[in-house]
Amino acid sequence: MDQQLLPSLPTSRTEPDGSAVIRVLSYNIRSLRDDEEALARVIRACEPDLVFVQEAPRFFRWRKHAARLAAKTDLVVLGGGATAAGPLLLCSLRAFVERTQDVLLPRTPGLHRRGFATAVVRFGAARVGLISAHLSLDPAERRAQAGLLLDRVASLGAPHVIAAGDLNEGPEGPAFGRLAAALQDCRAVAPWGGGPTFPPGAPDRRIDAVFATGGVEVLACGVPAGLAGVAAADLLAATDHLPVLAALRLPAAP
């Protein structure tokens, strides 16, 4: 994997008008089956306020595994995990948590059950809903799940929403397109860093993405290969996807 030094990314801060600049990371971690230390180094180097995880551990002692990853990355577990069928949310201590809810989606016989990890948090005067998702490998089910995700966006009761995850298809797909038609595809709005996220050694597909509702200002979004502290060797060793990092400005709540 070739890496070039990236331009700096906006740092997390609270603005004088009460808005908040945050860093958001979306990452499929393949159930921590790879190099966990490399994974932790990548996450720490990105300095996220929020991490939208897919394929978190779901079986024996899954809560312990999630807590260990959070501790290694100077974050805390916000919600999700096995109770959301794999999606997980981590956050920094900067976030004030209003509520969390794990959502299981309808089961299709013969297919892995999916779910959403959701929450509503505040950063200073800014209030935002969160959804971590991992859509189906089946095209028809995936498109239906995109609709369920948009339903959840509308029902969170937050003025702004960030949804991120592994979509299992690129921007040309109907599920991705359905989300991009209703939400901001942050990479398309403010490209920064790399685009494709899979496979990590020679990425040629952008199947992981961060989306935001219209009131959120997208400052930058992309794969952080080349960000200071993010080593190419760690990206290859950490898991079978590349992460997506976004810098967003959240308006203050009215």
pLDDT digits (tens, 9 = 90+) for 68-114: 999 999 999 999 999 999 999 999 999 999 999 999 999 999 899 99
What pLDDT is attached to residue 2? 54
Below-70 pLDDT ranges, the chain? 1-4
CATH number for domain 18-250, candidates 3.30.70.1230, 3.20.20.30, 3.60.10.10, 3.40.50.300: 3.60.10.10
- Structure pTM? 0.97
3-state helix/strand/coil string of the chain: CCCCCCCCCCCCEECCCCCEEEEEEEEECHHHCCCHHHHHHHHHHHCCCEEEEECCCCCCCHHHHHHHHHHHCCCEEEEECHHHCCCEEEECCCCEEEEEEEEECCCCCCCCCCEEEEEEEEECCEEEEEEEEECCCCHHHHHHHHHHHHHHHHHCCCCCEEEEEECCCCCCCHHHHHHHHHCEEHHHHCECCECCCECCCCCCECCEEEEECCCCEEEEEEECCCCCCCCHHHHHHHCCCCCEEEEEEECCCC
What's the confidence (pLDDT) of residue 4?
A: 64
Q: What is the pLDDT of residue 6?
A: 77
